[in-house]
Chain A
Amino acid sequence: MTTVILRTITRLVLPLGFVVSFAFFLQGHNLPGGGFIAGVLTASVVALAYLAYGLDVVEEDVFGREVETAVEHVQHGVVRDYQTLYAAGLAVAVAGGLAAMLYGYLTDTTIPFMTQTFRYATVPLFGHIELASAVVFDLGVYAVVVGALLTIISVVGAE
């Protein structure tokens, strides 16, 4: 399945995909996008790389590690990192929700779990932009989606 065309296209698409997914992530609150879509896009781009260059590409070329067997791949290799990623994502999402409660506790107001808020700020170069607390939660969503999808793809792919 690996052809020169596929490899070339992949080289081209890979950076584009990452940039687009990053843009999706940032603009999600106001324009089409968001953590979920960005996460799926990132995962699909990496999956494309898997298709074009084989399953060890991330392991060997990105992290410079050697893997022997499939089990090792799952238990120690990059899958371990994917697992850490989605676990951390869940933790971030929950922690963001708890932070609201903590803030309420510190300021003597009752704020329920996962309450979000936003502020507008003026930043040089970007102008008048919105800073939403929901971005923390969205980051968690992004991490979970990327971690979980890549775990599944690489494990199933390794079969």
Chain B
Amino acid sequence: MATFILGLPYDSNVQPTPDLWVLLALVGLPFAAAAATPLVARALGNRTAYYAAAVAAVCFGLVVTLAGTHGGAAVSWVGPLSVSLGFYVDGLATLVGALASGVGVLVFLYSAGYMRGEPGQPKYYATMLAFMGSMLGVVYAGDLVVLFCFWELTSVASFLLVGHYSDRRDSRYAARKAMLVTVGGGLFMLVGFVLLASTVGTYSLAAMLAEPAATRAAVERAGLLLPILSLVGIGAATKSAQVPFHVWLPDAMAAPTPVSAFLHSATMVKAGVFLLGRVRPILVGDHWTEIFVALGLCTMLVAAILAVCASELKELLAYSTVSHLGLIVAGFGFTGALGSETAVFHILNHAAFKAALFLVAGIVAHEAGTRAFDDLGGLRHDLPITAAVAVVAALGMGGVPPFNGFYSKELLFEASYEFAHHAGGLAWLAPVVAVVGSVFTLAYSLRFLAVFFGERPDTLGHVHRAPWSMTGPPVALAAIAGVIGLGGITAALGAPLAPVESFVGWVVGATLGPEAAGHAASFHYYLPTYVSPAVVMSALAIAGGIVCYLRWRTVRWATRGLLGALPVLRADGWYDGFVYGANHASTRVQRALWTGHLRTYAAWTFVGAVALAGFGYLATGIAVPTAGPTLGAGLTIILAVAAVAAVAAVRAPSHVAGVMALSVVGFAVTVFFVLASAPDVALTQVVVETVTFVVFLVILDKLPSYYGRIERSRAARDAVISVLVGGLVTVTTLVATDASPDAIATYFVENTVEQAGGHNIVNVILVDFRGLDTLGEISVVAMAAVTVLTLIVMRERGETP
């Protein structure tokens, strides 16, 4: 990983601030490269992977150049809302940014072998690059709005990648599921962000992180700590697939394996835990610990049990990822440095071993043609390099010393023990759950390894060696995992792996609470050489794991039985129930609303308008003026004519009579306008009235000549609606014309000639003062025409009933 940057003086307090242009280039480059991908793919064909890998490598280089810096950089974006296109660089951003770009390089190289000859490669690489850009955007965001935008972009990219095989039903289902769950969670997060920004007064994350104690105090003063915590927590939990939102991740395995390795183990699902680390300095406290320790440990245990029940490689890895994300969430949940160390170190370790394992699973599936455990075994002779990688990575996953996962799990045990020791009571559940979860973790890790050992089933045909482009990346990842693991041994011997330790320490510093935030923490890890509670817990977990593996059939029978008894663990029910329920409900609503009768639509529209406006009037307690303007004799007569014609229109027996009566109303109103000295409005009214009449004549042939008899109840209903609409319009007119002195009218009268050079106030308002409104109106007119055209053309082509 990014360990070789570590000669830089990042733990001094006078770090240089990052360069805005480097950040813009870092986040913008993948998107630009994604846009260019279709053209590049035309030229390069199957070698597009190397182009994408080169882009990722450049990004990785930029991440490295940023690693010595700390602080924010921003350009103004939405000034009035104090939203800026802001970026923020610190240890946490560097860690996850390095993962996104570094694992990106390896995954693209791997894709060169895995995706060779597959259709849809331009789409695949463009989306992957766009995803990488979004991920880097999330990681380096220094503004809540920017963070949210990129966050949702990662969901969109994930949707496209999970649904890559768009002709398969399960792919489409999985893509929708991933999208709905993560985007839904993102909306909760957005509300949390808005609450946070409204209490603090800025959207700038960089400003909040610069003053975490003050920010926290402001949030607490407003009494919004718990709501913000929960809302942001839901966002993080959906993205990181925590219980009960873990439903989408196993289905997302419908994606091509490199996607699973990249998005669904090393990077995108880390966005959730990244978010927790990001806001941890601001929000950490008692509530924080209660919520996230419970959430994380619960997820860790449930997902570990589900992983044991898995019947194929990728399903096992998916549940295992959920479980390990639970471990990281729990780590961030514990207050103090120990918790942060657990989470940060495990982010690094998990990315290394889990991405390697996914790539291994991809190789096995690609070369052996199956991922089912029952069909696989003894592959070490066919795939020796892959088997070696799997040993290093799977033992790291299982937490076996001296492999890398052991150290972060040891930290978790230590943190949970400390927590229980301090809090007492129910808190003792935390270390117990952590150990039980780890027992299952080791058991399924060994089960994964068993694919390479033992008997080779006869049904397994010839297995090819994988090409170097596919074995190279997992080897590199396993090497990193292995080196981190060896660092523990050398540290026990007195020679710690300084770059890793100081890098992790730097990252940990970025996630500490207000009292210590921003300063690099000193971090050490080593193979324990003495007995401590954590060591005893590890020993228990490993012994339990081995026993479970030896009694595999019994354990799997038991866990499957448990799952059968408690289907709620799989938790698919709530998602399917929600989605199908929503479908069902909308069908029913549609049946009520969409009758095919214009009168239904008109009724709903009018009722809706009356309800909204009426509610507005009631809510604001508007006073209806009683003294209206006085009318002269002429106006009264005209209005009386209009009223008589309106009654005639209602009582008309045929369409022709009705339209005639309506026209009388219209022209009476025109005369009214003329008398009220509004010639412009009158003119418009005349012309519009004429056009309406002509249009009606055009369609007259199609209508029945006489109205049928209508039911009494419907007539009553329509009458009520009409009266309501009329009443509302009357109230609106009275309220709107009551303002005195009428500032708006006076303004227009005074300024029309002077500022716009026109004497026709109405027209000047239309084209000049309120020109933008007119632009909107003519857009609506054009849209109406497009709509009519579309409907007619669709019917001509037989696309609608």
Report whether A134 and B767 are in contact in the complex, using a CB–CB cutoff of 8 Å: yes
Question: What residue in chain A is nearest B778 (Cβ atoms)?
Answer: A144
In Å, the complex CA distance between A138 and B777 comes to 13
Report whether B796 and A71 are in contact in the complex, using a CB–CB cutoff of 8 Å: yes
The 8 Å CB contact of B691, one of A30, A44, A113, A141, is A44
> Among the listed stretches A47-55, A60-68, A102-110, which one makes contact with chain B, having 4 or more residues with CB under 8 Å of it?
A47-55
Listed by A's residue number, 17 A-B pairs whose Cβ atoms lie within 8 Å are: A28-B763, A33-B683, A37-B683, A44-B694, A71-B793, A74-B796, A79-B789, A90-B778, A97-B775, A116-B756, A118-B758, A134-B764, A134-B768, A144-B782, A155-B788, A157-B698, A158-B792
Kindly supply a per-residue 1/0 record for chain A positions 1-15, scoring 1 wherever the CB is within 8 Å of any chain B CB and 0 otherwise. Answer: 100000000000000
The 8 Å CB contact of B687, one of A37, A114, A132, is A37
Expressed in whole angstroms, the minimum distance between the Cβ of B1 and any Cβ of chain A is 47
Report whether B789 and A94 are in contact in the complex, using a CB–CB cutoff of 8 Å: no
B15-39 contacts to A, CB under 8 A, are none
Report whether A1 and B697 are in contact in the complex, using a CB–CB cutoff of 8 Å: yes
Any A CB within 8 A of the CB of B771: yes
Expressed in whole angstroms, the minimum distance between the Cβ of A87 and any Cβ of chain B is 7
B667-716 contacts to A, CB under 8 A, are 679-680, 682-684, 687-688, 690-691, 694-695, 697-699, 702
Any A CB within 8 A of the CB of B766: yes
Report whether B690 and A44 are in contact in the complex, using a CB–CB cutoff of 8 Å: yes
Any A CB within 8 A of the CB of B577: no
Report whether B788 and A140 are in contact in the complex, using a CB–CB cutoff of 8 Å: no
In Å, the complex CA distance between A148 and B785 comes to 5
Any A CB within 8 A of the CB of B421: no
In Å, the complex CA distance between A144 and B782 comes to 6
Question: What residue in chain B is nearest A35 (Cβ atoms)?
Answer: B767
Expressed in whole angstroms, the minimum distance between the Cβ of B797 and any Cβ of chain A is 8
Expressed in whole angstroms, the minimum distance between the Cβ of B660 and any Cβ of chain A is 15
Any B CB within 8 A of the CB of A19: no
A156-B698 in contact given A141-B767, A148-B785 (Cβ < 8 Å): yes
Tell which of A34, A79, A94 has the most Cβ of chain B within 10 Å.
Answer: A34
The 8 Å CB contact of B782, one of A29, A34, A87, is A87
**Chain A positions within 8 Å of B760 at CB level:** 28-34
> In which size bucket is the chain B interface?
35 or more
Report whether A151 and B789 are in contact in the complex, using a CB–CB cutoff of 8 Å: yes
Report whether B782 and A138 are in contact in the complex, using a CB–CB cutoff of 8 Å: no
Report whether A37 and B684 are in contact in the complex, using a CB–CB cutoff of 8 Å: yes
Report whether B775 and A93 are in contact in the complex, using a CB–CB cutoff of 8 Å: yes
Any A CB within 8 A of the CB of B759: yes
Top-7 shortest CB links A-B: A118-B757, A148-B785, A29-B758, A134-B767, A144-B778, A30-B759, A151-B785
Kindly supply a per-residue 1/0 record for chain A positions 40-84, scoring 1 wherever the CB is within 8 Å of any chain B CB and 0 otherwise. Answer: 110110011011000000000000000000110011000100110
The 8 Å CB contact of A148, one of B774, B784, B797, is B784
The 8 Å CB contact of A147, one of B698, B785, B793, is B785
The 8 Å CB contact of A152, one of B683, B763, B788, B796, is B788
Any A CB within 8 A of the CB of B166: no
Report whether A29 and B778 are in contact in the complex, using a CB–CB cutoff of 8 Å: no
In Å, the complex CA distance between A141 and B694 comes to 21
Report whether A36 and B684 are in contact in the complex, using a CB–CB cutoff of 8 Å: yes
Expressed in whole angstroms, the minimum distance between the Cβ of B669 and any Cβ of chain A is 16
**Chain B positions within 8 Å of A32 at CB level:** 679-680, 682-683, 760
**Chain B positions within 8 Å of A130 at CB level:** 757-758
| Other 13 A-B pairs with CB < 8 A, given A90-B782, A114-B771, A134-B758 | A1-B697, A29-B756, A29-B764, A31-B759, A70-B796, A90-B778, A94-B775, A97-B771, A114-B775, A118-B758, A134-B767, A140-B778, A147-B785
**Chain B positions within 8 Å of A99 at CB level:** none
In Å, the complex CA distance between A89 and B695 comes to 23
Report whether B778 and A113 are in contact in the complex, using a CB–CB cutoff of 8 Å: no
**Chain B positions within 8 Å of A89 at CB level:** 778, 782
Any B CB within 8 A of the CB of A101: no
Expressed in whole angstroms, the minimum distance between the Cβ of B671 and any Cβ of chain A is 15
In Å, the complex CA distance between A158 and B762 comes to 36
Expressed in whole angstroms, the minimum distance between the Cβ of B754 and any Cβ of chain A is 11
A132-B766 in contact given A79-B789, A97-B771 (Cβ < 8 Å): no
Report whether B697 and A155 are in contact in the complex, using a CB–CB cutoff of 8 Å: no
Report whether B767 and A34 are in contact in the complex, using a CB–CB cutoff of 8 Å: yes
**Chain A positions within 8 Å of B8 at CB level:** none
**Chain B positions within 8 Å of A87 at CB level:** 782
In Å, the complex CA distance between A152 and B793 comes to 12
**Chain A positions within 8 Å of B695 at CB level:** 47, 152-153, 156
In Å, the complex CA distance between A37 and B768 comes to 16
A144-B781 in contact given A30-B758, A32-B683, A40-B684 (Cβ < 8 Å): yes
Report whether A51 and B698 are in contact in the complex, using a CB–CB cutoff of 8 Å: yes
Any A CB within 8 A of the CB of B779: yes
Report whether A47 and B767 are in contact in the complex, using a CB–CB cutoff of 8 Å: no
Kindly supply a per-residue 1/0 record for chain A positions 94-131, scoring 1 wherever the CB is within 8 Å of any chain B CB and 0 otherwise. Answer: 10010000000000000001101010100000000010
Kindly supply a per-residue 1/0 record for chain B positions 408-437, scoring 1 wherever the CB is within 8 Å of any chain A CB and 0 otherwise. Answer: 000000000000000000000000000000
**Chain A positions within 8 Å of B699 at CB level:** 156-157, 159
Question: What residue in chain B is nearest A40 (Cβ atoms)?
Answer: B687
A75-B756 in contact given A40-B687, A155-B788, A157-B698 (Cβ < 8 Å): no
Report whether A75 and B793 are in contact in the complex, using a CB–CB cutoff of 8 Å: yes
In Å, the complex CA distance between A36 and B698 comes to 22
Report whether B768 and A86 are in contact in the complex, using a CB–CB cutoff of 8 Å: no
Expressed in whole angstroms, the minimum distance between the Cβ of B779 and any Cβ of chain A is 7
Report whether B789 and A149 are in contact in the complex, using a CB–CB cutoff of 8 Å: no
A90-B789 in contact given A33-B683, A153-B698 (Cβ < 8 Å): no
Question: What residue in chain B is nearest A94 (Cβ atoms)?
Answer: B775
In Å, the complex CA distance between A71 and B768 comes to 40
In Å, the complex CA distance between A33 and B681 comes to 9
Any A CB within 8 A of the CB of B772: yes
Report whether B789 and A137 are in contact in the complex, using a CB–CB cutoff of 8 Å: no
Expressed in whole angstroms, the minimum distance between the Cβ of B150 and any Cβ of chain A is 28
A48-B779 in contact given A29-B764, A30-B760 (Cβ < 8 Å): no
Report whether B688 and A118 are in contact in the complex, using a CB–CB cutoff of 8 Å: no
Expressed in whole angstroms, the minimum distance between the Cβ of B691 and any Cβ of chain A is 5
Report whether A83 and B789 are in contact in the complex, using a CB–CB cutoff of 8 Å: yes
Expressed in whole angstroms, the minimum distance between the Cβ of B330 and any Cβ of chain A is 52
In Å, the complex CA distance between A28 and B765 comes to 11
**Chain B positions within 8 Å of A83 at CB level:** 785, 789
